[in-house]
Amino acid sequence: MRAYYFDNLPGDQRLPHESASQAAVSISTLNSIKVEFWNIPLQGHEEKLNAVAKERGYRNRDVITISKEGLGDEYETKLKAFYKEHIHEDEEIRYIMDGGGFFDVREAPTDEWIRIAVSAGDLLVLPAGIYHRFSVDERNMTRTTRLFKDEPKWSAIYRSDESDTNPHRIEYLNSITAAA
Protein backbone atom coordinates (compact mmCIF):
# COMPACT_ATOMS: atom_id res chain seq x y z
CA MET A 1 0.00 0.00 0.00
CA ARG A 2 1.18 3.45 -0.87
CA ALA A 3 -0.74 6.63 -0.06
CA TYR A 4 -0.24 10.13 -1.43
CA TYR A 5 -2.19 13.23 -2.38
CA PHE A 6 -3.92 12.88 -5.75
CA ASP A 7 -2.62 15.36 -8.34
CA ASN A 8 -6.13 16.36 -9.56
CA LEU A 9 -4.92 16.54 -13.16
CA PRO A 10 -7.21 15.36 -15.94
CA GLY A 11 -6.45 11.99 -17.45
CA ASP A 12 -7.14 8.30 -17.18
CA GLN A 13 -8.26 7.35 -13.66
CA ARG A 14 -6.23 4.12 -13.98
CA LEU A 15 -2.96 6.06 -13.97
CA PRO A 16 -1.18 6.80 -10.67
CA HIS A 17 -1.85 10.58 -10.67
CA GLU A 18 1.22 11.03 -8.50
CA SER A 19 3.70 13.83 -8.99
CA ALA A 20 7.12 14.37 -7.45
CA SER A 21 5.80 17.47 -5.68
CA GLN A 22 2.92 15.57 -4.07
CA ALA A 23 3.59 14.57 -0.49
CA ALA A 24 3.33 11.00 0.70
CA VAL A 25 0.55 10.39 3.19
CA SER A 26 1.51 8.69 6.44
CA ILE A 27 -0.29 5.84 8.17
CA SER A 28 -1.03 8.24 11.04
CA THR A 29 -2.81 10.60 8.61
CA LEU A 30 -4.88 7.69 7.28
CA ASN A 31 -5.64 6.61 10.85
CA SER A 32 -6.77 10.16 11.69
CA ILE A 33 -9.52 9.81 9.06
CA LYS A 34 -10.32 6.27 10.30
CA VAL A 35 -8.82 4.43 7.30
CA GLU A 36 -7.20 1.18 8.40
CA PHE A 37 -4.71 -1.00 6.57
CA TRP A 38 -3.00 -4.37 6.93
CA ASN A 39 -0.70 -6.31 4.64
CA ILE A 40 -1.49 -10.01 4.74
CA PRO A 41 0.76 -12.04 2.42
CA LEU A 42 -1.19 -14.24 0.02
CA GLN A 43 0.56 -17.38 1.22
CA GLY A 44 -1.56 -18.60 4.13
CA HIS A 45 -3.79 -15.52 4.06
CA GLU A 46 -7.02 -17.38 4.96
CA GLU A 47 -6.08 -17.88 8.63
CA LYS A 48 -5.09 -14.24 9.11
CA LEU A 49 -8.07 -12.94 7.15
CA ASN A 50 -10.38 -15.12 9.25
CA ALA A 51 -8.81 -13.69 12.43
CA VAL A 52 -9.41 -10.10 11.25
CA ALA A 53 -12.98 -11.03 10.25
CA LYS A 54 -13.67 -12.57 13.67
CA GLU A 55 -12.13 -9.65 15.56
CA ARG A 56 -14.15 -7.05 13.61
CA GLY A 57 -17.41 -9.01 13.39
CA TYR A 58 -17.43 -9.70 9.64
CA ARG A 59 -19.72 -12.68 9.10
CA ASN A 60 -19.94 -12.83 5.30
CA ARG A 61 -17.63 -12.48 2.33
CA ASP A 62 -17.49 -12.88 -1.40
CA VAL A 63 -14.90 -12.58 -4.13
CA ILE A 64 -15.32 -10.14 -6.99
CA THR A 65 -13.20 -9.91 -10.12
CA ILE A 66 -13.20 -6.62 -11.95
CA SER A 67 -11.80 -7.13 -15.43
CA LYS A 68 -12.75 -6.58 -19.05
CA GLU A 69 -12.84 -10.34 -19.57
CA GLY A 70 -15.09 -10.91 -16.58
CA LEU A 71 -17.49 -7.97 -17.02
CA GLY A 72 -17.47 -7.71 -20.83
CA ASP A 73 -19.55 -4.83 -22.16
CA GLU A 74 -20.37 -3.68 -18.60
CA TYR A 75 -16.70 -3.10 -17.71
CA GLU A 76 -16.48 0.63 -18.52
CA THR A 77 -19.92 1.33 -17.00
CA LYS A 78 -18.94 -0.42 -13.76
CA LEU A 79 -15.62 1.45 -13.59
CA LYS A 80 -17.46 4.76 -13.95
CA ALA A 81 -19.90 3.80 -11.17
CA PHE A 82 -17.07 2.76 -8.81
CA TYR A 83 -15.19 5.99 -9.58
CA LYS A 84 -18.10 8.31 -8.87
CA GLU A 85 -17.62 9.87 -5.41
CA HIS A 86 -19.83 8.18 -2.83
CA ILE A 87 -20.27 6.95 0.73
CA HIS A 88 -21.64 3.74 2.22
CA GLU A 89 -23.62 3.19 5.38
CA ASP A 90 -21.33 0.24 6.18
CA GLU A 91 -17.57 -0.13 6.31
CA GLU A 92 -15.94 -1.04 3.02
CA ILE A 93 -13.49 -3.88 3.62
CA ARG A 94 -11.37 -5.15 0.74
CA TYR A 95 -8.56 -7.71 0.58
CA ILE A 96 -6.72 -7.60 -2.75
CA MET A 97 -5.85 -11.08 -4.01
CA ASP A 98 -4.65 -10.26 -7.52
CA GLY A 99 -4.13 -7.17 -9.66
CA GLY A 100 -4.57 -3.82 -8.03
CA GLY A 101 -6.11 -0.42 -8.04
CA PHE A 102 -6.65 2.87 -6.29
CA PHE A 103 -8.96 3.86 -3.49
CA ASP A 104 -9.28 7.63 -3.35
CA VAL A 105 -10.58 8.97 -0.03
CA ARG A 106 -11.49 12.51 0.98
CA GLU A 107 -9.38 13.89 3.78
CA ALA A 108 -11.49 15.77 6.29
CA PRO A 109 -11.71 18.63 6.86
CA THR A 110 -9.59 19.69 3.81
CA ASP A 111 -11.65 17.67 1.30
CA GLU A 112 -8.44 16.82 -0.58
CA TRP A 113 -8.20 13.47 -2.35
CA ILE A 114 -5.77 10.96 -0.89
CA ARG A 115 -4.95 8.17 -3.33
CA ILE A 116 -4.24 4.75 -1.83
CA ALA A 117 -2.56 2.35 -4.25
CA VAL A 118 -3.33 -1.26 -3.34
CA SER A 119 -2.06 -4.56 -4.67
CA ALA A 120 -2.11 -8.25 -3.78
CA GLY A 121 -1.93 -8.81 -0.03
CA ASP A 122 -3.35 -5.41 0.96
CA LEU A 123 -6.40 -5.25 3.23
CA LEU A 124 -8.07 -1.86 3.44
CA VAL A 125 -10.96 -0.76 5.66
CA LEU A 126 -12.82 2.44 4.84
CA PRO A 127 -15.22 3.66 7.52
CA ALA A 128 -18.92 4.16 6.87
CA GLY A 129 -19.57 7.75 5.84
CA ILE A 130 -16.18 8.56 4.24
CA TYR A 131 -16.34 9.94 0.70
CA HIS A 132 -14.33 7.73 -1.62
CA ARG A 133 -14.07 6.17 -5.07
CA PHE A 134 -12.25 3.23 -6.66
CA SER A 135 -10.47 2.45 -9.90
CA VAL A 136 -8.46 -0.46 -11.15
CA ASP A 137 -4.90 0.48 -12.10
CA GLU A 138 -3.22 0.08 -15.50
CA ARG A 139 -3.40 -3.72 -15.17
CA ASN A 140 -7.19 -3.33 -15.66
CA MET A 141 -7.93 -6.14 -13.24
CA THR A 142 -8.40 -6.85 -9.60
CA ARG A 143 -9.64 -9.93 -7.75
CA THR A 144 -10.81 -8.90 -4.32
CA THR A 145 -12.34 -10.50 -1.27
CA ARG A 146 -15.06 -8.27 0.13
CA LEU A 147 -15.96 -8.73 3.79
CA PHE A 148 -19.33 -7.78 5.29
CA LYS A 149 -20.78 -7.59 8.80
CA ASP A 150 -24.16 -8.63 7.40
CA GLU A 151 -25.35 -9.85 4.00
CA PRO A 152 -23.13 -8.91 1.02
CA LYS A 153 -24.24 -5.65 -0.56
CA TRP A 154 -22.80 -2.64 -2.32
CA SER A 155 -25.05 0.38 -1.92
CA ALA A 156 -23.46 3.65 -2.95
CA ILE A 157 -24.85 7.01 -1.87
CA TYR A 158 -23.42 9.46 -4.37
CA ARG A 159 -22.18 12.82 -3.12
CA SER A 160 -24.91 15.45 -2.87
CA ASP A 161 -26.45 17.81 -0.33
CA GLU A 162 -28.47 14.83 0.86
CA SER A 163 -25.41 12.60 1.36
CA ASP A 164 -23.73 15.40 3.33
CA THR A 165 -26.53 15.13 5.91
CA ASN A 166 -26.71 11.32 5.92
CA PRO A 167 -26.56 10.10 9.54
CA HIS A 168 -23.59 7.84 8.74
CA ARG A 169 -21.72 10.79 7.22
CA ILE A 170 -22.46 12.96 10.28
CA GLU A 171 -21.39 10.15 12.63
CA TYR A 172 -18.16 9.72 10.65
CA LEU A 173 -17.35 13.45 10.80
CA ASN A 174 -18.08 13.51 14.54
CA SER A 175 -15.80 10.51 15.09
CA ILE A 176 -12.80 12.14 13.44
CA THR A 177 -13.43 15.45 15.17
CA ALA A 178 -13.64 13.72 18.56
CA ALA A 179 -10.40 11.85 17.89
CA ALA A 180 -8.48 15.00 16.89
- What are the binding residues for Fe(2+)? 86, 88, 92, 132
- What are the binding residues? 86, 88, 92, 132
Query: d(Cα 162, Cα 138) in Å, to the nearest integer?
Result: 34
Residues 18/115, Cβ–Cβ less than 8 Å: yes
Instruction: Enumerate residues 6+ apart whose C-beta is below 8 A from 155.
Output: 88, 89
Confidence check: pLDDT of 178 > 80: yes
Confidence check: pLDDT of 147 > 80: yes
What letter represents residue 120's amino acid? A
What's the helix, strand, coil split of the chain in %, to 5? Answer: 30, 35, 40
Query: d(Cα 131, Cα 113) in Å, to the nearest integer?
Result: 9
Q: For 25-72, how does the pLDDT look when each residue is reduced to its tens digit (9 = 90+)? A: 999 999 999 999 999 999 999 999 999 999 999 999 999 999 999 999
- What are the binding residues for Ni(2+)? 86, 88, 92, 132
Query: d(Cα 15, Cα 9) in Å, to the nearest integer?
Result: 11
What is the phi/psi pair of residue 5, to 5°? -75, 130
What is the residue extent of each domain of the chain?
A: 2-169
Model pTM score:
0.95
> What is the rounded average pLDDT of the residues 158-162?
96
Q: Does domain 2-169 have CATH number 2.60.120.10?
A: yes
- Predicted local distance difference test score (pLDDT) of residue 28: 95
How many CB atoms are located within 10 Å of the residue 12 CB?
8
Confidence check: pLDDT of 77 > 80: yes
- 10 — pLDDT class (breaks 50, 70, 90): very high
- 180 — pLDDT class (breaks 50, 70, 90): low
Instruction: Enumerate residues 6+ apart whose C-beta is below 8 A from 57.
Output: 149
Task: Report which of residues 32 and 151 the model is more confident about.
Answer: 32
